[in-house]
Amino acid sequence: MTEDITTDKHSHQAVPRWRRLLVPVAVGVIAFTLGVGASGSDDATASDEYKSLDQELATTLRELDDARQNVADLDSELATAEDTVSRLESDKERRESDADARQTRLDERAAKLDKRETALNELESDLETRASELDSLSEQLDDREAELEKRERASTQTIDDPPPVEEEPDDEPAEVYYKNCDAVRAAGKAPLRRGEPGYASHLDRDNDGIACE
């Protein structure tokens, strides 16, 4: 049974219906009993007014029991609701903790990826520098190769086309003979050395290889 609730005009608080019924009924029963006792009637409980009050009192007591049951049910529902709220709050805290842990892991992974990306960029820059150095070295090697090819061509041309050799005259000079050193001096050839045209042993008295000293 749903508890009938009204509002007290002075306190502005909810007042259950059984309270509104129980108080006047109880007051009525007490007043009726006092009135009957004062009049001295022995058949007071048999009167219609007493029966009506007794029925209202019984109804009010039943409503009171129902209200108490409703209160117990509401307490049970409240406890259940509080348990549900507690579970939801616990689940919320667990989810927030899991989310924080996941965020932390994601941040760590992002930091590692940033570090790896930085290392890759540095490696790429180093590779570009080395590639530039290799290109420069390759150009130098090409220049040296071209120079060597040029020198090889020049060397081959020199071997294939030797310079002209001066031809010696076919006519051999006539043999020169001097009778004595006077003749040598007169010809302006003194002194004569061994092997020169006109040298003779009779002109070299001391046989030292120099005649007409």
What confidence tens digit (pLDDT) does each residue in 75-107 have?
999 999 999 999 999 999 999 999 999 999 999
Where is pLDDT greater, at 38 or 117? 117
The DSSP code sequence of 49-118 is HHHHHHHHHHHHHHHHHHHHHHHHHHHHHHHHHHHHHHHHHHHHHHHHHHHHHHHHHHHHHHHHHHHHHH
Q: Return the amino acid letter for 175.
A: E
Predicted pLDDT of residue 158: 56
Predicted pLDDT of residue 152: 82
Using CA atoms, how far apart are residues 37 and 49, in angstroms rounded to an integer? 15
Q: In DSSP terms, which residues pair with 15 in a beta bridge?
A: 6
Predicted pLDDT of residue 80: 94
Q: For the chain, which residues make up each domain, given as ranges?
A: 5-95, 181-211
Cβ neighbours around 204 below 10 Å, total: 19
Q: What is the pLDDT of residues 20-41, one digit of tens each?
A: 555 665 666 566 555 545 444 4
Share of the chain above pLDDT 70, in %: 70
Q: pTM, whole model, 2 decimals?
A: 0.34
Using CA atoms, how far apart are residues 185 and 179, in angstroms rounded to an integer? 11
Which DSSP category does 44 fall into? G
